[in-house]
């Protein structure tokens, strides 16, 4: 019975829905002798995403044989709550990934580069097809535009994400991806694997205070979170940031960790004497700003593996080294908070650019984009779900 009543969050609006009880739209192919349905603004799309584009009417339930108005066959499935077109791979195992970071942490830059890496380097590594199905959302389109702008000879960093005004009309649709590949089992049998996952790019101000953080209820539906921390926010690095002309984050690493911990404990109903079970990938961004202190053969300088699995041993080595650096920077309390609040967390060091930009002008380094280990946090989250193979203890 549970198989037919199980739910999964919609990758667009994060509402828990039953993947076997979806809605659909009229296909527009009206029956002979009957007038064609007209496209009109969809109240559900307007409420959730401020989308006033005209759409064909919704048919509920999806099992309906034909559109009751024009007799057309039903179209592909959509979410019964927000009426977003759902990828064919959507199902109970779909993963929603929260990417959280404060203003100036490089979150939009990281997402823009990660979007490109997923469809190229990561796709090649796992012999997979990773794309944005059903048409790109506003965020997905913006990420491509940001990446193209950074690739130009005079490439500039994208602008800060606009703060959410707190109304439902200001919500943006997340970037939704499908990942399809074939995986060999231990018995040599090849099986098709697929998953849908999405990223929501919050504004940095959304986690500046506990009250604002608690409004980010979408985190309650996530199956994993990537927390992006600005290394310049640690006490020992503030002078370095000033010398480089880099902006200092308004919110320190501990404060943003406290905010997200509050949200997860509240939305997941975690008791105070228990740890949060949801895996948390803590990514220290802008690690290229510290390459002058890190030997070339150091694990933090190693490029991402090209082998089609997640290297657990290598990841733990990087985790240990990043932890030592964070403590050196004055972040010992942050490490203790992670240990006391999370049952499963992992530290990462990454750079979306791979070479420091001109912080004052926001111009990309003349060497161009050289992304460094940006996909590792997502790959770890996928490995913890058993979606991609892993090696090591």
pLDDT of residue 80: 92
Residue with tokens 């996952």: 197
Whether pLDDT at 1 is above 50: no
pLDDT of residue 245: 87
Establish if 40 belongs to a structural domain: yes
Asked whether residue 39 falls in the same domain as residue 143, the answer is no
Whether pLDDT at 165 is above 50: no
Establish if 200 belongs to a structural domain: yes
Asked whether residue 60 falls in the same domain as residue 156, the answer is no
Establish if 216 belongs to a structural domain: yes
Asked whether residue 43 falls in the same domain as residue 114, the answer is no
| Number of structural domains found in the chain | 2
Asked whether residue 62 falls in the same domain as residue 165, the answer is no
Asked whether residue 224 falls in the same domain as residue 372, the answer is yes
Asked whether residue 39 falls in the same domain as residue 122, the answer is no
pLDDT tens per residue, range 318-343: 999 999 999 999 999 999 999 999 99
Average pLDDT for 333-360: 93
State which residues form the domain around 106: 95-391
Asked whether residue 33 falls in the same domain as residue 131, the answer is no
Residue with tokens 């939305």: 267
pLDDT of residue 182: 86
pLDDT of residue 222: 86
Establish if 166 belongs to a structural domain: yes
Establish if 336 belongs to a structural domain: yes
Tell me the C-alpha distance between 317 and 323, whole Å: 10
pLDDT of residue 96: 82
Asked whether residue 163 falls in the same domain as residue 231, the answer is yes
CATH number at residue 99: 3.40.50.300
Tell me the C-alpha distance between 226 and 260, whole Å: 11
Return the percent helix, strand and coil in the chain, to nearest 5: 35, 20, 45
Asked whether residue 13 falls in the same domain as residue 139, the answer is no
Concatenate the DSSP letters of all residues of 24-61 into one string: EEE-S-PPTTSPPPPPEE-HHHHHHH----EEPPEESS
Put simply, whether the predicted model's pTM sits higher than 0.85 gets the answer: yes
pLDDT tier at 167, thresholds 50, 70, 90: very low
Q: What is the DSSP letter of 372?
A: B
pLDDT tier at 161, thresholds 50, 70, 90: low
Asked whether residue 44 falls in the same domain as residue 117, the answer is no
pLDDT tens per residue, range 8-63: 888 888 888 988 888 999 999 999 989 999 999 999 999 988 889 999 999 876 55
Tell me the C-alpha distance between 93 and 193, whole Å: 11
pLDDT tens per residue, range 118-140: 999 999 999 999 988 755 567 77
Establish if 220 belongs to a structural domain: yes
Q: What is the DSSP letter of 134?
A: T
Higher local confidence (pLDDT), 28 or 163: 28
pLDDT tier at 64, thresholds 50, 70, 90: low
Whether pLDDT at 379 is above 90: yes
pLDDT of residue 169: 38
pLDDT of residue 203: 63
pLDDT of residue 261: 92
pLDDT of residue 342: 97
Tell me the C-alpha distance between 384 and 253, whole Å: 25
Domain boundary among 52, 78, 104: 78
Average pLDDT for 364-372: 86
Partners of residue 24 on adjacent β-strands: 59, 77
Establish if 18 belongs to a structural domain: yes
Domain boundary among 78, 109, 125: 78
Burial class (CB in 10 A: 0-12, 13-18, 19+), 212: middle
Contact 25, 74 (CB under 8 A): yes
Establish if 122 belongs to a structural domain: yes
| Helices within the chain (DSSP H only) | 2-5, 43-49, 107-117, 123-125, 138-151, 210-213, 238-244, 253-267, 312-328, 332-341, 376-384
Whether pLDDT at 3 is above 60: no
Average pLDDT for 271-279: 93
Partners of residue 195 on adjacent β-strands: 179
Query: What is the β-pairing status of strands 54-55 and 95-101?
Result: unpaired
Contact 146, 353 (CB under 8 A): no
Asked whether residue 64 falls in the same domain as residue 116, the answer is no
pLDDT of residue 159: 73
Mention every residue, 6+ apart, whose C-beta is less than 8 A from residue 219. 98, 100, 225, 260, 263, 264, 267
Asked whether residue 53 falls in the same domain as residue 115, the answer is no
């Amino acid at each position: 019975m549970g198989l037919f009543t199980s739910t999964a969050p919609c990758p667009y609006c994060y509402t828990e829905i039953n993947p076997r009880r979806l809605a659909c739209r009229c296909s527009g192919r009206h029956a002979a002798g009957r007038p064609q349905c007209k496209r009109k603004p969809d109240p559900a799309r307007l409420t959730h995403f401020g989308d006033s584009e005209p759409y064909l009417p919704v048919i509920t339930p999806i099992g309906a044989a034909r559109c009751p108005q024009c007799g057309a066959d039903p179209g592909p499935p959509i979410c019964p709550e927000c009426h977003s077109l759902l990828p064919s791979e959507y199902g109970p195992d779909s993963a929603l990934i929260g990417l959280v970071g404060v203003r100036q942490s490089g979150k939009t830059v990281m997402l823009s580069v990660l979007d490109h890496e997923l469809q190229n380097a990561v796709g090649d590594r796992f012999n997979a097809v990773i794309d944005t199905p059903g048409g790109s959302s506003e965020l997905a389109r913006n990420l491509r535009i940001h990446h193209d702008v950074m690739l130009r000879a005079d490439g500039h960093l994208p602008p800060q994400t606009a703060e959410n005004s707190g109304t439902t009309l200001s919500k943006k649709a997340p970037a939704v991806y499908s990942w399809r590949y074939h995986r060999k089992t231990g018995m040599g049998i090849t099986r098709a694997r697929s998953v849908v996952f999405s990223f929501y790019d919050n504004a940095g101000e959304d986690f500046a205070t506990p009250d604002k953080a608690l409004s980010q209820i979408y985190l309650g539906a996530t199956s994993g979170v990537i927390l992006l921390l600005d290394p310049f926010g640690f006490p020992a690095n503030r002078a370095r940031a000033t010398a480089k002309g880099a902006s200092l984050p308004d919110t320190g690493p501990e404060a943003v960790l406290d905010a997200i911990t509050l949200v997860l404990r509240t939305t997941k109903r975690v008791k105070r004497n228990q740890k949060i079970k949801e895996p948390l990938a803590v990514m220290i961004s802008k690690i290229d700003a510290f390459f002058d202190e890190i030997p070339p053969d150091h694990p933090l300088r190693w490029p991402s593996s090209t082998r089609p699995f997640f290297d657990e041993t290598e990841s733990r080595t990087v985790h240990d080294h990043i932890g030592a650096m964070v403590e050196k920077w004055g972040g010992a309390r942050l490490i203790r908070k992670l240990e006391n609040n999370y049952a499963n967390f992992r530290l990462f060091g990454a750079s979306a650019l791979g070479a420091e930009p001109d912080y004052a002008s926001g111009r990309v380094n003349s060497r161009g984009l050289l992304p460094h280990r940006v996909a590792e946090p997502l790959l770890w989250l996928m490995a913890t779900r058993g979606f991609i193979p892993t090696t090591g203890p």
